[in-house]
Structure 1
């Protein structure tokens, strides 16, 4: 394998690593913000408005996390394509993932993947249940 292709693969792997790190940080921020808003709501005699506000970061972080996972999957396809290039093909260092859109589920479908749904659906479910309980109190 030539040096240019190895460098190209390292560039792509760096992007994949950053996408994974971003997704990890988003999950941490989601838990922190939702828990913080619940604590704040509890100190204000459990006002439903503060519980309702917790829905916003949970939903937006879910969509953003889905976007990062979608991009990570696209870059993994790019990595695989570069890895399979024959030695006669020169590495062009392209980071264009558009040719792989057809090979990867859409961004919104990625948001509802098992890995994201198992984290965000229970989180949003807890917020909604708490909101209903506080509202009917």
Structure 2
């Protein structure tokens, strides 16, 4: 089965192959997002572990930084993934012909407000929140120990 586009016949198999290419990019972006979450949890947990074991409250505060960096990176991947999904829909509806894979116009439509999406906010926000909580508890414990050392010796 062929269709006429720009004076050239486009095979139905070519159309589906174009969709496969874009779907492969979507899958890769989703995999990258999964890796970002794994690295964020690993690095932040490691820093929190060192902070608690070494009694270093400032290191607990630093543990929030990798989570924030990975959160921004993951936001970029999610924006790109949504752009490619929109492109995929246009290819499926045959609104986009040829083998062009240019996400630019689609990415421009995607807002950075995705940063606050439920899937990102609860994951990365909880890492940042736990880091801040550990920092606050440790900072209070250290300052309380300096003021009244007998309160911490039960």
- Fold match (TM-score > 0.5): yes
Give the paired residue count.
131
In the other structure, the counterpart of 2:140 is 136
Contact 2:64 2:127 (8 Å CA) reproduced = no
2:133 aligns to what SS in structure 1? helix
What is the TM-score of this pair, normalised by structure 1?
0.87
| Deviation sequence 1:48-78 (CA, Å, 0-9, x none) | 2211221110000001111111100000000
Indicate which of 62, 77, 80 corresponds to 1:71. Answer: 80
Q: CA deviation at 1:99?
A: 2.3
Q: CA deviation at 1:42?
A: 2.2
In the other structure, the counterpart of 1:97 is 103
CA RMSD of aligned residues (A): 1.7
Higher share of residues assigned strand: 2
The residue correspondences of 1:20-35 to structure 2 (distance < 5 A) are 20-35=30-45
Bigger Rg over Cα: 2
What is the TM-score of this pair, normalised by structure 2?
0.78
Of structures 1 and 2, the one scoring higher in RCO (CA 8 A, sep 6+) is 1
In the other structure, the counterpart of 1:55 is 64
Structure 1: tracts of 5 or more residues without a match: none
